[in-house]
Amino acid sequence: MKIFRQPLHELITKKLHKAGLTEEHAAGVADVLVHADIRGIHSHGAMRVEYYAERIAKGGLNTKPDFEFNKTGPSTAIFDGDNGVGHVAAKLAMDEAIEMAREHGIAAVGVRRIGHSGALSYFVRQAAKSGMIGISMCQSDPMVVPFGGSEPYYGTNPIAFAAPSHDGRIMTLDMATTIQAWGKILHARSRHESIPDSWAVDKEGHSTTDPFKVNALLPIAGPKGYGLMMMVDVLSGILLGLPFGNKVSSMYHDLTEYRNLGQFHLVINPAFFTDPDMFKQHISDTMNDLNHIKPAPGFEQVLFPGQNNDLIQEQYEKNGIEMVDDIYEYLISDVVHRNQYDNKDPFAK
């Protein structure tokens, strides 16, 4: 079925408020989830609502967090999320980072003690909409085998980047350091679709196309992805004095407990390095250059990073967002949650 942006936002807000969030924080989470869905990143959209609702209802997220922002230097700061919803904490931390970079040229803000924060592209695009470069990364629970290993140690540990152009478009990269994000596996499960055999392995360590048999994910580009997920873990975990590696809390183990996750924002103000208008013009030129490169056989056009999501958003804004029927039925129901996630093996059905 299809649903438009505003009705979806209202349904998500209502459900999360009923679960126990303040209406303001419920709406803040809805902002990030709808952003994901309308850009075709369904793995981080409305399909996450019931999981959040169950964790909120069971006390695993602080519904009235005491957010605290402490500047530790002219361009550095720590935002303590007090284990509230990560979406709201990360958004507010990025707002602070943007203001710091506006004044000092660059800002590095560690966001500590938060819950899951959703699609990182939302936060880096905040910076880009303010005329700046945004970079963000965060830890996640261990479900990836390190290169050469047979047991999970790191999480999918995503990285995002965004830069503004002269004509309002935004160059956007949002990637897991695995070949594919865990949410994509969940999305395939929700649709009962197969997955490429390069995404994950089963309990025996063999490649699998069955999303229900996945027991661990694989790092992107082998040792290179492994190195990137290490970097993310250091910057968003060890640097902030938080649990790291296979000590990062599980998304599903005991939904009554806080997760204490970390995220790291870096914002760069182009005006401190070059002419800002020229910078944005050159981003536009890059986008246009890429679009005009001769496509390889089987491709219609070379797209710049994030352009595919832009095209999806254009269609969804016009025609409505594609929504799995079961997820929509849950959103319109009176059910807060169906006790599906607590103490669940993340790789279980």
9 found inside a domain:
yes
Burial bucket for residue 253 (CB in 10 Å: 0-12, 13-18, 19+) = middle
Whether 228 is covered by a domain: the verdict is yes
Strand partners, 216: 201
Q: Does residue 69 come out as left (phi exceeding 0), alpha (psi in the -120 to 50 range) or beta?
A: beta
**pTM exceeds 0.85 for this model:** yes
| C-alpha to C-alpha distances, 16 to 7, 21, 266, nearest whole angstrom | 14, 6, 29
Of the candidates 133, 89, 106, 103, the one whose C-alpha atom is nearest the C-alpha of residue 261 is 89
Query: Does a structural domain hold residue 238?
Result: yes
Tell me the HSE value of 238 on the side-chain side, using a 13 A CA sphere. Answer: 10
Range of the domain at 90: 2-275+310-332
Tens digit of pLDDT at every position of the chain (349 positions): 999 999 999 999 999 999 999 999 999 999 999 999 999 999 899 999 999 999 999 999 999 999 999 999 999 999 999 999 999 999 999 999 999 999 999 999 999 999 999 999 999 999 999 999 999 999 999 999 899 887 889 999 999 999 999 999 999 999 999 998 777 887 898 889 999 998 998 888 788 999 999 988 999 999 999 999 999 999 999 999 999 999 999 998 899 999 999 999 999 999 999 999 999 999 999 999 999 999 999 999 999 999 999 999 999 999 999 999 999 999 999 999 999 998 877 665 5
- Strand 76-80 relative to strand 68-73, pairing: antiparallel
User: Does 314 map to a domain?
Assistant: yes
116 is catalytic: yes
Residue 300 burial class via C-beta count within 10 angstroms: exposed 0-12, middle 13-18, buried 19 and up: exposed
Strand order in the sheet with 261-268: 68-73, 76-80, 106-114, 261-268, 133-138, 159-164, 170-175
Per annotation, catalytic residue among 116, 187, 265, 337: 116
Does residue 222 come out as left (phi exceeding 0), alpha (psi in the -120 to 50 range) or beta?
left
| Angstrom distance (rounded) from CA 264 to CA 177 | 15
* Encoded tokens for 244: 């790291």
CATH of the domain at 58: 3.30.1370.60
> Is 324 among the domain residues?
yes
Whether 239 maps to a domain, the answer reads: yes
CA dist 271 and 294 (Å) reads: 33
Domain count, the chain: 1
* 200-201/216-217 β-pairing: antiparallel
Distances in Å between the alpha carbon of 259 and those of 183, 193, 198, 335?
A: 18, 30, 30, 24
